Amino acid sequence: MIVTAEHRTKPYPLGVRVVGDALEVAVYSETADSVDLCVFDDRGQETAHRLQERTGHVFHGRVEGHGVGTRYGLRVDGAWDPANGLRHNAHKLLLDPYATAIEGEFRWDEAVFSHRFNAPEELNPSDSAPFVPRCVVTERSFDWGDDAPPLVPLDETVVYETHVKGFTQTHPDVPEEIRGTYAGLAHPAAIAHLVDLGVTAVELIPVQQFAQDSHLLEKDLRNYWGYNTYGFFAPNAGYSAAGDDGSQVVEFKQMVKALHAAGLEVILDVVYNHTAEGNHLGPTISFKGIDNGSYYRLVDEDRSSYFDTTGTGNSLNVGHPAALGMIMDSLRYWVTEMHVDGFRFDLATTLTRQDGDAEVHSAFLTLIHQDPVLAPIKMIAEPWDTQGYQVGGFPADWSEWNGKFRDDIRDFWGGADSRIGGVAQRVLGSPDVYEASRRSPLCSVNFVTAHDGFTLADLTAYSRKHNAANGEDNNDGESDNRSTNSGAEGPTDDVAVNERRDRMRRNLLATLLLSAGVPMILGGDEMARTQGGNNNAYCQDNEISWYDWAAADTSLLHFTRELIALRRAEPALRPDWYRAAATADPEDTSTSTVDLLRSDGKPFSDSDWDDPAARSIMFVLAHRDRDTFALLLNASENGVEFSVPKAPSAEWELVVSSDLDQLVEAPVSTLVSRDCSFTLLRSRRA
């Protein structure tokens, strides 16, 4: 077929788009010989259309008579030579890397694999089309009305990490037909909980289309967390009440619009470090069959194998323009077309490894920094992968999950060997990590629990994991989750044990919410959500993971609401920077200051910071034109008498304490803090 100038298409944008009464298609591959767009009718009959044009490494063309709602896939022909990294197999129906909606799920037949099970080097000629999902051409327009990003400043941000399905699956005030969906999260009852709690952003663990692992399905389990992406432009259809025919895109946009209207930002947990295709024994879903070596890092000495820094079998080749371009296009799509407000990058360190080593000036980080769409967006790194730990190693305009905060705060309250100096650093926003590179405490996303590990309730109720339901003989998950439980294992009727657990939960939440940085709460911790001691519930799409709204601890919920409200109201508790009170400029009314004091009211000496016996500390936090606060932390197993400094304005008054019997009588010069408790005092500005 000769392509005339009238019908000539362009090699960009990649993917499929509707132009008039036709589809214009563009697919990148350096190694393919041909690319077909395969369209499926309502009966499932396939019609292949060869892309007749090629510009550089992009195959492109026009397919007449099709528009929104078209189901399609790709077939890519080329060399089958695994030893040299070539895995083309035209018998496999492939998903378009740029598909904006995906319909159906995989049936894990051998046909989905390009190789034979008993001979991985041999091509498998079975047609995969009957066993794989279809891409769906979607309507790109949407009535956003007056939607606008909330643009919450980092110093006012409180992140709530949650799961689209688990959050509303059992919510009594959400209609049953939309529970566990984007529509469910957009329901007024769901939004009311978030607004009343006071958080400013929901961080959704993966909502890009992901695969159900065959080994889990064989055990009647499902991938609940979703860290197994294969559709980087497509909202996961399993969370759509409207169906998977493209309606999931509209429903997702409606959810974002509703959350924005309530002042809530939407941050996506994204998994660009690897895909669901796994290693050389994994299925051929998309990238492997299109251009294996451009999209994946292959081992130089053995290009049949994959360089893996993710622990999943493969790593995307961020040193190559095709893979890097796809990631950037995906990020821009979610911002411009889906209106999301930020991203949390799973195993982000892998994305900085162009040539093996993590690089702060990698192409990935540089491209985001200079991109006018992405530069203003909240960017949060999980700053590690299987090859290294990079907390503090990301650029100044990035925030990071601060694992040091989690570990030091848990050790302090849990009675493990720890330094009081480490606790002071964490509460002050980890200046030991960030200040040398002139990064503020707002680069630190603080957390004590996250989806991966114990919930707060379980951290204080279990000293060991209980993962038998995962089907791996309790061998999965972290063996030491730094538990703060020191009583009975699991539920108990022991009043003293339950009272201590309740106190410990408040200690941990208060330390999180009263520390400098950006606090992140694991969804459900505010009401003592339990997973029964399962610290790796990635495969538990059931009551183990879903929020049990009927069992909510309303007292803890009220406590958390009050602390968040206090934090958001008082700049002394959420500073851009802290300065030592003695050195702060008295004329600077915008400065937040801090004094660090021992329980006897005296400053710490150099040797005090490393004293393993030191288990108490007092922070005096002030903002020049606002109230002053004294935060007293006592992690020892006995009561401690604090010598409280003279109140700078009105007499000290009790704000909140994990000791429900804590008394404060003015004037305050000393205060006895019971074992394992915190107390927050306030001196109101006259």
DSSP state of 452: S
Spatial distance between the Cα atoms of 673 and 675, rounded to a whole number of angstroms: 7
Q: Is 478 left (phi over 0), alpha (psi -120 to 50) or beta?
A: beta
**Is residue 74 within 8 Å of residue 25, measured between CB atoms?**
no
Extract the tokens encoding 568.
Answer: 């958001």
Q: What phi, psi does 86 have (nearest 5°)? A: -105, 120
**Is residue 275 within 8 Å of residue 316, measured between CB atoms?**
yes
Give me the catalytic one of 36, 382, 400, 411. 382
Q: Is 121 a residue of the active site?
A: no
Q: Is 229 exposed, middle or buried (0-12, 13-18, 19+ CB in 10 A)?
A: buried
3-state secondary structure of 286: coil
Spatial distance between the Cα atoms of 130 and 109, rounded to a whole number of angstroms: 10
Return the exposure string of 305-330: e unless at least 16 CB atoms fall within 10 Å of the residue's CB, then b: bbbbbbebbbbbbbebebbbebbbbb
**Is residue 356 within 8 Å of residue 281, measured between CB atoms?**
no
Helix H or strand E segment including 425 = helix 420-427
3-state secondary structure of 501: helix
DSSP state of 132: S
Spatial distance between the Cα atoms of 423 and 402, rounded to a whole number of angstroms: 13
Q: What phi, psi does 51 have (nearest 5°)? A: -80, 115
Give me the catalytic one of 265, 346, 502, 627. 346
Spatial distance between the Cα atoms of 433 and 422, rounded to a whole number of angstroms: 11
**Is residue 249 within 8 Å of residue 323, measured between CB atoms?**
no
Q: Strand order in 46-50's β-sheet?
A: 46-50, 32-40, 71-78, 134-136, 102-103
DSSP state of 146: T
Q: Which of 370, 336, 375 is nearest to 149 (CA)?
A: 336
Q: At which residue do the structure tokens 């993966």 appear?
A: 206
Extract the tokens encoding 636.
Answer: 């020892």
Q: At which residue do the structure tokens 């890397």 appear?
A: 97
Q: Which of 574, 569, 572, 347 is nearest to 440 (CA)?
A: 574
Q: Is 382 a residue of the active site?
A: yes
Q: Is 336 exposed, middle or buried (0-12, 13-18, 19+ CB in 10 A)?
A: exposed
Extract the tokens encoding 267.
Answer: 């941050």
Tell whether omega for the bond before 13 is within 30 degrees of 0, i.e. cis. Answer: yes
Catalytic residue numbers, as ranges: 346, 382
